[in-house]
Structure formats: C-alpha cells, structure tokens
Amino acid sequence: MKHTVYEVKLKNGSKGLIINVPESSVVTFDINFRAGDYLTKEGKWEAAHIMEHVLLGANKLIPKARTFQAEFEKNGAYSNASTSSYDIIYEAECAEFEWNRILGLLITAVTKPLFLKEEFEAEFGNVREELTARSNNHFRHLSLALRQSYGFAMKTDQDRLKLMGNVELKDIREHYELTHTTSNMRFVIAGHLPIERRKLIKKAFDSIELPLGDGRFELPDERPISLEKPLYINNKTIENIYVYVDTFMSRRIRDPEVDALSLINTMLTETLYSRIFGAAREKGLIYGMSSGMEQTKDISGWWIGAQIMPKNAPALFDIIVRELTAVFKGKIKDEDITAAKQYAIGRYQRSGQTVGGTAAGYSNRYFFDDVIDDYYKIPERIKAVSRNRIIKITKEIFAENIWGMGILGNVDQEFIDTLEEKLKPLWK
C-alpha cells in the first residue's frame, strides 16, 4: 500500500513510527517493551507471559477485564498481546473512525493496570492451558529444546509448565515496574493518519503516564555452542520424525547478505520446484518442509526443518547435502536465480496489501534494533543480489563449524548417527 513513514522521538525517551496510509479504512497499533522472558528472575520464567495476559484486563478506568474488553471491542476492534524471549507487544486494530478512542483505551491498559488477584488466578489457568496446547506441537518442542541446548535464552513449554507455579502476583507487578518505562518503549502505528492525527498521537505518547526508566534494555549476549551429538527427544506416539538442522556464524549479517541468504533459502525450500523441497517432493519423500534465517544481538543462523517418515529421511539428507554442496561450488543456474528473484518480489508485493502487513514490514526490524527499513527499496535490493554474494554468504554460514541437529520421534541411535554422518561434510 502507498504510505509515508514518520519517526517520532520523544523527550521521555520513547520512539516510534507513524505510518500514514492515505484513505485506508483501518488503523493498527503495536506498542513494544523490551520485557521478555530473559528479564525475569531465576525460576520465575513465566512471569512476563502471565503479566502480559493480566495487563489487558482490569484497569483504573474500567476495573473489570470482561467489561474492558466489551468496551474495547464494541465496534469490532481487535486487541491482543504476545510475549517472546525478548519483547512484549500489545497490539490492536480498529476501524478508522474510532482510532482515537482505541488508542486511548490501549494506552490506559498499558499504563493503569490493576493486576487484580482474581484476574491473576484466572489468567494463570489460561496460560497453563496455552502452554499445554503448545506442548503438543512437536516442531515447537524440538525447536525450543534445540535452542535451549545451544545456549539461547529459551525454555521448552514443558519446562515452562513446571516453572510457572513459582510465579506469584507480586512477581508480575515487579516485572511490570521494571520494564514498562517510556525509555524502554517503542511503537508503530499505521493507517489514515494525516498531520493533525499524527500530532495527536505524538502528544498521547509524549504525555503517557509511565516512569522514564533507564533506557532500552540491551538484548542478551547469546553465543550458541556446537552440539557434541544430536539432540534426541523420544516420542513413541508418532510414526514419523521431526528434524531440525541449524548452522550459525558469530556475527550479525549485513542487509545485502540478508538478501542473498533469503534468496538461496527461496531457491532451496520455499517452492514446489525448489532444489531441495521440490526434488524431495518429486521423489515422493516428503509432504512439506521449511527453512529460514534468524538473527540475535550477536549471531546469525540458518535452519532447515522437516517432518518425514524415517525410511525417507536418508534420501532427503542426501538431497540436502548434494544441493548445498552444489551451492558451495557455485553450481547455480542463472534461471534459478532469476526465478527466485521473481518469487521474492511477488511475495514482497503480497505482504504489503493491508495496513497490518505494511506496518509489519517495519515493526520487526524497528523493535529489534531501531532501524527503519526502506520498504520501497526492497525490490531494488532483491534485484541487486549476485551469484557471488549468494555463494559467499552460504559458505560463510557453514564455515565456523557451529551447528547441531535435533530429532523428535521413535528411532534408534544407529539411525541418528547415520543421518549425522551424512551432514558432517557440509561443515568441513
């Protein structure tokens, strides 16, 4: 969607983006605090998550959660919140005609929560239900367990369920007071926001009733270790296996490298004609698989994951090794690069069809490191990716020999060793 981005830097230390999308019929709000799980006390891991659940409830304006939600949603508005290892985000979307009312209610929720004992107890039960449901997701279980093994600030849902009993009402109040300060806050608001509305938004955040704090919390120092042996989670209830393979490099990659790695990711797994997934599908080995990049404060990584029958896994691993080795050797066809670029540009255009999609194109990076990506330059960046850049970054992401593999299922050690031996040449 056509839009213009304005960055707002306020005296109280908060910063945000106001994205004017002329004539759009909805307005979206994202308010971010660096307040995730890694900032909780030892043994109180679930305090941030439970606090996020309780916060969008009773407040000094409307002292009952259901009544507040009824007022918030009466014209079809939507609200939600999410907690990650690093951040908590409060979000809302509403019709354009009530943007000011919804912004006021959202700010009230964030600044004047009551944290009632009865609502804490209710949301404690709801969080337990949420974690129990998530723990049935085998991909999620394996992914979190792997990242815990590498040394990231994460825990599995199974561990979180065991720890949540340590969290008391006073813990969520303390976490709120520690993290919900203006200098630790970022926001992104998008919609039909001409100059007078932008002034009102700036005034609302400039006068927000939160303490100043000591600045934005730093992201944790995370340096993944290479696993000495594959992580194996035995689960006798499933016939297939879940597999993840990760490789890391000990620095943040630059934007041109991100573009190149994203393009080779597309070429390898993202389409039914891709070099790994497409080839495996063609042989009837697998229904679906995925891969992707990740970055933290200190590192960059690439992962590939699949759900597959054990008898098909060795053949899939042969394809993975064959195709990555071909990339290392520069055996990439020009038509494959062109096709991947066309796919990436089309995906970019689809991603910005809505106000929320446009806002998301900025918020992830802005909340991570205060950088404003130039959304309009993304097609130009994609077109600029060269064969040499693709080869170079793909080789580098494997060069430091920091890697690991995880399997969830019901297989024996010999099977796991066989798959590991197939992969090892990629890091030599």
Q: Could you state, in order of their start, the residue ranges of all structural domains in the chain?
A: 4-206, 231-427
Which homologous superfamily does the CATH classification assign to the domain defined by 231-427? Answer: Metalloenzyme, LuxS/M16 peptidase-like (3.30.830.10)
Mean pLDDT in residue range 187-192: 98
Q: How confident is the model at residue 197 (pLDDT cuts 50, 70, 90)?
A: very high
Report the DSSP pairing between strands 15-20 and 185-191: parallel
- Find the distance separating the first CA and the last CA of the chain, reported in whole Å: 46
Mean pLDDT in residue range 104-124: 97
* 340 pLDDT above the threshold of 90: yes
Which residues lie below 8 Å from residue 415, measured CB to CB, with a gap of 6+? 310, 313
Which residues lie below 8 Å from residue 44, measured CB to CB, with a gap of 6+? 163, 166, 167, 171
Which residues lie below 8 Å from residue 299, measured CB to CB, with a gap of 6+? 222, 223, 224, 248, 249, 250, 251, 252
* 74 pLDDT above the threshold of 90: yes
Which residues lie below 8 Å from residue 46, measured CB to CB, with a gap of 6+? 37, 40, 127, 131, 160, 163, 164, 166, 167
Q: How confident is the model at residue 1 (pLDDT cuts 50, 70, 90)?
A: confident
Give the Cα separation of 354 and 382 in Å (integer). Answer: 22
Q: How confident is the model at residue 428 (pLDDT cuts 50, 70, 90)?
A: confident
Q: How confident is the model at residue 350 (pLDDT cuts 50, 70, 90)?
A: confident
- CA separation, residue 156 to residues 134, 144, 235 (Å): 10, 5, 15
pLDDT of residue 351: 84
Report the SS3 class of residue 303: strand
* 385 pLDDT above the threshold of 90: yes
Mean pLDDT in residue range 235-251: 97
The DSSP letter of residue 113 is B
Mean pLDDT in residue range 210-234: 96
Please check whether the two domains, 4-206 and 231-427, share a CATH topology: yes
Measuring CA to CA, which residue among 393, 420, 380 is closest to residue 295? 393
**Percent of the chain having pLDDT more than 90?**
96
- The pair of three-digit structure tokens given for residue 185, joined into one six-digit string: 């806050």
Mean pLDDT in residue range 227-239: 97
- The pair of three-digit structure tokens given for residue 289, joined into one six-digit string: 């698989």
pLDDT of residue 129: 98
The answer to whether the CB of 221 falls within 8 A of the CB of 43 is no
Q: Is 139 exposed, middle or buried (0-12, 13-18, 19+ CB in 10 A)?
A: middle
**390-417 pLDDT, tens per residue?**
999 999 999 999 999 999 999 999 999 9
Mean pLDDT of the chain: 96
Give the Cα separation of 1 and 350 in Å (integer). Answer: 10
Which of the following CATH numbers is that of domain 4-206: 3.10.520.10, 3.30.830.10, 3.40.50.150, 3.40.47.10? 3.30.830.10
* Backbone dihedral angles phi then psi of residue 289, each to the nearest 5 degrees: -155, 170
Contacts 24+ apart (CB under 8 A), 171-175: 171/40, 171/41, 171/44, 171/47, 172/47, 172/50, 172/51, 172/54, 172/115, 172/120, 173/115, 174/47, 175/35, 175/39, 175/40, 175/47, 175/48, 175/51
Q: How confident is the model at residue 252 (pLDDT cuts 50, 70, 90)?
A: very high
Contacts 24+ apart (CB under 8 A), 164-168: 164/45, 164/46, 164/50, 164/124, 164/127, 164/128, 164/131, 166/43, 166/44, 166/46, 167/44, 167/46, 167/47, 167/50, 167/124
Give the Cα separation of 251 and 262 in Å (integer). Answer: 17
Measuring CA to CA, which residue among 92, 100, 105, 118 is closest to residue 28? 92
